[in-house]
Amino acid sequence: MLKLKFLLPLLLFVMLAVFLAVGLRLNPKDIPSPLIDKPAPAFSLPILATPEKTLSQQDLKGRVWLLNVWASWCVSCRQEHPLLLELAKLKRATIVGLNYKDQAQAAGQWLQQLGNPYDTSIMDADGRVGIDYGVYGVPETFVVDKRGVIRYKHTGPVEPGDIERIFLPLLQTLNQEPA
Amino acid sequence: MNKVITLVLCLLALPGWAVVEYHPFEDPNKEQAYQTLISELRCLVCQNQTIADSNADLAKDLRQQVYDMLQQGKSQQDVVDFMTRRYGDFVMYRPALTMKTGLLWLGPIAFLLIGIVTVVLLTRHKKAAAQTALNSQQQTRLNELLQQGEED
Mind listing the pLDDT tens digit for each residue in A43-87? 999 999 999 999 999 999 999 999 999 999 999 999 999 999 999
The residue count of chain B comes to 152
Of A32, A35, A131, the CB nearest to B61: A131
In a domain, A63, yes or no: yes
Distance CA B72, CA B148 (A): 98
Q: What is the pLDDT of residue B140?
A: 87
In a domain, A2, yes or no: no
Which segments in chain A show pLDDT lower than 50?
none
In a domain, A126, yes or no: yes
N-terminal to C-terminal alpha carbon distance within chain A: 63
Residue B115 has pLDDT above 70, yes or no: yes
Alpha helices in A91-167 (DSSP H): 104-114, 128-132, 162
Of B61, B62, B88, the CB nearest to A34: B88
Contact criterion met (CB below 8 Å) for A9 and A60: no
Q: What is the DSSP letter of A31?
A: P
Is the dihedral angle over the CA atoms A80, B88, A147, B58 positive or is it negative? negative
Q: What is the DSSP letter of A38?
A: S
Could you tell me which residue, A44 or B128, shows the higher pLDDT? A44
Residue B10 has pLDDT above 70, yes or no: no
- Cβ–Cβ of B44/A31 closer than 8 Å? yes
Q: Which residues contact B144 (CB under 8 A, 6 or more apart)?
A: none
What residues make up the domain containing A103? 34-176
Distance CA B122, CA A5 (A): 12
What angle (nearest 5°) sits at the alpha carbon of residue B78, between those of residues B75 and B83?
135
Total tally of structural domains belonging to chain A: 1
pLDDT band, residue B62 (cuts 50/70/90):
very high
Residues of A in CB contact (< 8 Å) with B are 28, 31-35, 101, 126-127, 130-134, 136-137
Q: What is the pLDDT of residue B128?
A: 78
Residues of B in contact with A34 (CB under 8 A): 84-89
Residues of B in contact with A127 (CB under 8 A): 57-58, 61
What angle (nearest 5°) sits at the alpha carbon of residue B73, between those of residues B68 and B74?
80
Q: What is the pLDDT of residue B101?
A: 85
Residues of B in contact with A138 (CB under 8 A): none
Q: What is the pLDDT of residue A32?
A: 83
- Cβ–Cβ of A34/B47 closer than 8 Å? no
- Cβ–Cβ of A131/B45 closer than 8 Å? no
Residue B119 has pLDDT above 90, yes or no: yes
Q: What is the pLDDT of residue A114?
A: 95
Q: What is the pLDDT of residue A89?
A: 94
Q: What is the pLDDT of residue B129?
A: 75
Contact criterion met (CB below 8 Å) for A42 and A56: yes
Q: Let me know if A22 is exposed, middle or buried by CB neighbors in 10 A (0-12, 13-18, 19+).
A: exposed
Mind listing the pLDDT tens digit for each residue in B15-50? 555 556 788 888 899 999 999 999 999 998 888 899
In a domain, A6, yes or no: no
In a domain, A120, yes or no: yes
In a domain, A48, yes or no: yes
In a domain, A18, yes or no: no
Distance CA B62, CA B48 (A): 16
Q: What is the pLDDT of residue B45?
A: 86
Q: What is the pLDDT of residue B40?
A: 93
Where do the domains of chain B lie?
A: 22-96, 103-151
In a domain, A26, yes or no: no
The CATH number for A112's domain is: 3.40.30.10
Could you tell me which residue, B11 or B65, shows the higher pLDDT? B65
Could you tell me which residue, B131 or A104, shows the higher pLDDT? A104
Q: Report in angstroms the alpha-carbon separations of B80 from A39, B68, B95, B98, B99.
A: 20, 14, 10, 15, 18
Phi, psi for residue A141 in degrees, rounded to 5: -130, 125
Distance CA A140, CA A153 (A): 7
Contact criterion met (CB below 8 Å) for A77 and A113: no
pLDDT band, residue B135 (cuts 50/70/90):
confident
CATH of B22-96, one of 3.40.50.300, 1.10.8.640, 1.10.645.10, 3.30.360.10: 1.10.8.640
Q: Report in angstroms the alpha-carbon separations of A52 from A29, A79, A80, A122.
A: 36, 31, 29, 11
CA B7 to chain centre: 35
Residue B107 has pLDDT above 70, yes or no: yes
